[in-house]
Structure 1
Amino acid sequence: MAFYLAVDLGGTKTEYVLADETRELARVRGGTIKRMRTDATTAEENFTQAIRELEQMSGVSVRDITRSCVGAAGVTVALVTDWIRKIFAERIGGSLILVGDVEIALDGAFFGGPGVLVMSGTGSNVAGRTAAGKLTTAGGWGPALSDQGSGSRIGQQALRDTTLAVDEERETTLLPAILKLWNLRDFDELVAYANQVPAPDFTKLAPEVVSCAAAGDAVAQGVLRREAEELAHLARLVIDRLRRVDTRSDWLPDLAFTGSILEHVAPIREGIVESLRRELPALKVVPGMVDPTLGALWRARHG
């Protein structure tokens, strides 16, 4: 019997799935093994713990694995790829496929086919793949330059809109919510805290924005609406690129979502779809959230 190992290698955690040809046998979440984010000793300890748990849960030795697929950001960085290839050659049986994290996410949604995937968590990115397999992306340039619709951007924009509301003498429940979260006494302390170097973690404000928006706060609702529109704009750019190279005049790629913001913040997800369907009413959306690890498993099974 053939066995397959799928790995979604992130900067803070790593997801593993061990499966046979039809069934998922074990799933483990461990610490990062990305060498740009941790030292070699810690990465090896995290990897050892994860494969030990996989073996205990599945009853399968990792030496008996037929093929593995690892998806990771930074696959062009030798520090990342050399270490992965070395540790897999030493510890895991079979062959190894090493690809970018965007590719396994697309495979999780479209199983090697064309489509557009919107990703939003701490950061954000939109990726598309043509029928010929060519990748294209928009956004993903980091919190200082883009990350539309991400947790970081939602928090940062909430602060900006809150200060504007103060200037305009408008009430917003965001202000007391932010002060309470950050344990600050008043607006002056907020100004100093938000402008400190290094900056605070703006991502932590995102749940407060969602809560205030759900309770009817206009400022919070405006933040989520604008971020959804901006992320939808990036998705439209990618959709248009794919359509330009497709020979079918009426073809429209399907849309899929992945990431914690898109999973848990319905106004962002729904706002993206609403914005795109104004001009593309036939747009089809893949239900649920894409699991990139299952994309890596699909690729491992299919070689």
Structure 2
Amino acid sequence: MAFYLALDVGGTKTEYVLADDTRELARVRGGTIKRMRTDAHSATQNLEKALAELTALTGVSMKSVTRSCVGAAGITVALVTDWIREAFAERVGGSLILVGDVEIALDAGFFGGPGVLVMAGTGSNVAGRTIQGELTTAGGWGPALADQGSGSRIGHQALRDTFFAIDEDRTTALLPAILELWQLPDLESLIGYANQIPSPDFTRLAPLVVRCAAEGDAVAQNVLHREAEELAYLAHLVIERLRRDPSNHRPEWVPELAFTGSILEHVAPIREGIVSALRRDHPSLKVLPGTVDPILGALWRARTGSLPVAG
């Protein structure tokens, strides 16, 4: 029997799936093994612990694995890829496919085919893949420069809009909610806390923005609407690049759209706002339901042996 191992390597955690040809046998979550984020000793410990858990849950030796696929950011960095290749050669049987985290997320929705993926969690990014397998992206420049529609951006923009509402003599439920969350006594304390260096974790504010919006707060609703529009514009840019791609001989073609990430999984106004905005220019746009799980893209590659397109 063939066994396949799939990994989704993040900066703080790594997801693992062990499967056979038809079923998932076990899933585990461990610490990061990305060498840009941790030292070699910690990465080794995290990998060995997770592999041992998979074996304990399934009885399958890692040396019996037919093929593995690891999806990770930074696969162009030798520190990342060299360590993964050496670690797997020592501990896991079979062949290894290394691919970017964006590509396994696209694979989870489109199984190697063309499409557009909008990602929004703590950060955000939009990626597209042509018929020939080439990738194009928009956004993803980090919290200081981009991350439209992300948890961090939603929280930060809500805080800014709260103070703009104060300037306009408008009330918003966001102000008392933020004070309560951060356990601050008054507005002056909030000003100092928000402007400190390093900055506070604005991502923590995102759930209360969603809650206040659902309860009818206009300031919170406007934050979600604006972030959805900005993230949709990035997706529009990617769609237009794919439409102009020479390998696509159908100018009217619009690729399917998929979502991934905690914001797009849990914040319906963002997801629905993106679709609504895109359909103004792309009325025939097809949208995959729900959100895709990137590790299933890694599992698809492990099972099929499909390699990333070079170039």
Q: TM-score range by the shorter chain?
A: over 0.9
Q: Could you say which residue in structure 2 is the equivalent of 1:301?
A: 303
Deviation at 1:250, TM superposition (A): 2.1
Query: Runs (4+) of structure 1 moved beyond 2 Å?
Result: none
Q: Could you say which residue in structure 1 is the equivalent of 2:121?
A: 121
**Which residues of 2 match residues 247-286 of structure 1 at below 5 A?**
247-286=249-288
Deviation at 1:77, TM superposition (A): 1.2
Q: Could you say which residue in structure 1 is the equivalent of 2:135?
A: 135
Q: Could you say which residue in structure 2 is the equivalent of 1:223?
A: 223
Unaligned regions of 5+ residues in structure 1, if any? none
Q: Could you say which residue in structure 1 is the equivalent of 2:148?
A: 148
Deviation at 1:249, TM superposition (A): 2.4
Moved more, 104-113 or 73-82: 73-82
Deviations 1:150-192 (A, max 9, x none): 0000011001100000111100000000000001111111111
What is the rounded CA distance, in whole Å, between the counterparts of 2:78 and 2:159 in structure 1? 39
Q: Could you say which residue in structure 1 is the equivalent of 2:237?
A: 237
Deviation at 1:92, TM superposition (A): 0.3
**Cα RMSD for the two superposed structures:** 0.7
Q: Could you say which residue in structure 2 is the equivalent of 1:170?
A: 170
- Matched positions, count: 303
Identical amino acids, percent of aligned pairs: 76
Unaligned regions of 5+ residues in structure 2, if any? 306-311
Deviation at 1:58, TM superposition (A): 1.5
Deviation at 1:279, TM superposition (A): 1.8
Partner amino acid, structure 2, of 1:287? P
What is the rounded CA distance, in whole Å, between the counterparts of 1:64 and 1:24 in structure 2? 16
Q: Could you say which residue in structure 2 is the equivalent of 1:26?
A: 26
What is the rounded CA distance, in whole Å, between the counterparts of 2:80 and 2:176 in structure 1? 43
What is the rounded CA distance, in whole Å, between the counterparts of 1:241 and 1:260 in structure 2? 26
Q: Could you say which residue in structure 2 is the equivalent of 1:71?
A: 71
What is the rounded CA distance, in whole Å, between the counterparts of 2:63 and 2:235 in structure 1? 42
Q: Confirm or deny that 1:161 pairs with 2:157.
A: no
SS of the residue 1:278 aligns to: helix
Deviation at 1:80, TM superposition (A): 1.0
Deviation at 1:57, TM superposition (A): 1.3
What is the rounded CA distance, in whole Å, between the counterparts of 2:118 and 2:9 in structure 1? 19
Deviations 1:65-97 (A, max 9, x none): 011000000111111111111100000001111
**Which of 287, 290, 294 lines up with 1:288 in the alignment?**
290
Moved more, 280-289 or 201-210: 280-289
